[in-house]
Amino acid sequence: MNLAEGFDWIRRSVGVVPPIDRGVGDAGEEPSWQPFPSNALLSQAVDHACRIINREIGLGEGPEVISISVGVQTVSPYVMSLGNVPLMARGSVTTVRRVWWENELLRSTTLYKETQQRRNYIDEAVGTPVDYAVEDYKLYIMPAPSAAGTLKLMVGAAVLGPKGLRDGFHGLPSAYETVPLSIASAMVAGILASDAEMIARKPNLDAMAAAELDSLREWAAFKDEAGPGGFEFDAYHRPTASGRMR
């Protein structure tokens, strides 16, 4: 779900009909018949909701350096899913800020850039790693190491809100994208609390936000119990306390 769709979701929750529901606009547009809450206010509410989530489930945006042992490789590049990073007892790696191989800092690049420079990074010989790239939630080390060694990553793990109307949430499984939206809806309802209809809606919105946050805490506890790589998470369903998906 991107931010524009999230704005429409929040508006529906607080009883405001978004333009797209009337067939007169695109996702995320402010309704001319009811401009409040504005997109600017909704964006602030979503960002604040993400900060609440990070605090409640113990995530932060600060960097952490972790070490990963890598064996001898025979094919380049070395590819690792960021979902398998040991930090991932809870949350998601949202940034890779630095990468070292045997304490030597690797150069940051992109697969597109390497392709444009005619580098055949897929079939190049293994050797001493020089570059790294992050794409599709995977870390690429180029070339793959020809000897066993230690990879160090400086990463950040947090739930980050969208940075534009077409951007989505980062570090949050898709099954839980409604959690920050529910929290944001309750915040908006509090701002509009002078409205009689909103006064009637707010208790239900508060209860929904609390239940959604509890479900995210349950997910965090389940991740902690399973440990890094302890289970394969289905992003479209939520784990129950017993580990079953609902």
Nearest Cα to Cα of residue 132 among 154, 103, 111, 155: 111
pLDDT-derived band at 89, boundaries 50, 70, 90 = very low
> What would the pLDDT profile of 124-143 be if each residue is shown by its tens digit?
899 999 999 998 889 999 99
Q: How far apart are the first and last CA of the chain?
A: 20
DSSP, collapsed to helix, strand or coil, labels residue 67 as strand
pTM of the model: 0.61
d(CA 124, CA 121): 5
- The residue ranges of every structural domain in the chain are 3-57+159-226, 61-157
For residue 193, the model assigns a pLDDT of 67
Query: DSSP label at 235?
Result: T
Residues 6+ apart with CB under 8 A from 136: none
Say whether pLDDT at 171 is over 80: no
What does the radius of gyration of the chain's CA atoms come to, in whole angstroms? 22
Say whether pLDDT at 91 is over 70: no
Say whether pLDDT at 37 is over 80: yes
d(CA 67, CA 48): 32
